[in-house]
Structure 1
Amino acid sequence: MIKNNVEAIIEGNRVIYKRYFDVSIDLLFEAWSSQEHLSEWWGPDGFTITTKRLDFSNGGIWEFIMHGPDGHNYKSKIQFIEINKPNYIYYQHLGDDEGTKEIHFQSKIIFEESGEGTNLTMEQIFPNKEELERVNKKYGAIEGGKQHLGNLAKYLEKRK
């Protein structure tokens, strides 16, 4: 696990991000599960979000809009498949009827205690390798994933 840096591994149709966070597993899990926290860090550099609704439960839906630094809005919908506090969150990105309807993937967020901190693994699974390549080319998804976890780290540093 890379401390204070993001490791990204591409394996076929999957991208696996790994990062160590110098915070408790409970705080790290909480940062992924409450609207208060998510609104402070979610997304790549320069993005902000507006949550329309958040039901953080198995089968629950999170609808939100990502506001890009270029002024473009990306409507998004996530369905939580399985949540096991504080060990993991599995969800699927469903896109939205208007904004990001063509982007579908599943994510597994795994939290593991490590000394005084927590190792996080974020695995994104696309329908196939070509879809991963398309989304990465069009949206810069892999770099965006790294920035996503970097923004989480910056936010958590302020919360310590």
Structure 2
Amino acid sequence: MQPLTITLPSDREICVTRSFRAPADLVFDCWTIPALIRRWLGPAEWVFITCEFDARVGGKWRFVTRGPDGMEMGSSGEVLEITRPDWIKTNEIYDMDWTGGTTIVTNRLTEENGVTTSVVTVLYATKEARDGARATPMAEGMEMGFKRLEELLAERLTA
């Protein structure tokens, strides 16, 4: 599959689009089941210390990862809307609030001919927060994780 694409639909949003050769149900599971999330989310050299995701409206989630240098990064939030297998909407805040407050993250999954496209839109509190996030190696880190997700999906499809 092609690497992710990034667009800026508004002054406060980043939209990340990536397709996967797998059914939407399986892609949805990989976004919502902690045992699967642990296997792909983020760069491979970062390990999960905490990976919790309660996939229901009002459910809480929490991720804490540790990098190879020992630095830990934590984030948490709440599931605002969820419709299997095509829609997840959460809020998110990082422990070290580098995003300028709570963000709203939506993930729309659409499947066509065995290919599921994930469109993740992050709404930041301000344009400055969005621009700050865009200036980080966010896209590279996400693509590393998405390549691992492709491998996980292929493994699950042949199991």
Q: What is the TM-score when the length of structure 2 is the normalising length?
A: 0.85
Q: Is the 8 A contact 1:13 1:129 kept in 2?
A: yes
Segments ≥4 residues shifted beyond 4 Å = none
Secondary structure at the residue paired with 2:27? Answer: helix
The match for 1:129 is: 127
Shift of 1:102: 4.1
What's the offset of the Cα at 1:45?
Answer: 4.3
8 A Cα contact 2:106 2:120, kept in partner: yes
SS at match of 2:85: coil
* Partner Cα distance (2:51, 2:43) in 1: 19
Gaps of 5+ in 1: none
Which residues of structure 2 form unaligned runs of 5+?
none
Alignment size in residue pairs:
154
Partner Cα distance (1:120, 1:64) in 2: 20
Classify the secondary structure of the residue corresponding to 1:16: strand
Q: CA RMSD in A?
A: 1.9
- Aligned counterpart in structure 2 of residue 105 of structure 1, from 103, 106, 119: 103
Q: Secondary structure at the match of 2:8?
A: strand
SS of the equivalent of 1:28 reads helix
- Report which stretch shifted further, 86-95 or 69-78: 69-78
| Equivalent position SS for 1:70 | coil
Task: Establish whether residue 154 from structure 1 lines up as the match of residue 136 from structure 2.
Answer: no
The percentage of aligned residue pairs carrying the same residue is: 22
Aligned to 2:84: 85
Question: CA–CA distance in 2 between the matches of 1:133 and 1:37?
Answer: 30
In structure 2, distance between residues paired with 1:67 and 1:106: 24
Kept in 2: contact 1:105–1:124 (CA 8 A): yes
Deviation at 1:93, TM superposition (A): 0.8
Given that 1:15 and 1:142 are in contact with CA atoms closer than 8 Å, whether structure 2 keeps it comes out as no
2:40 aligns to what?
41
Tell me the SS of whatever aligns to 1:101: coil
Q: Structure 1 residues 23 and 52, CA, compared in 2 at 3 Å: closer, same or farther?
A: closer
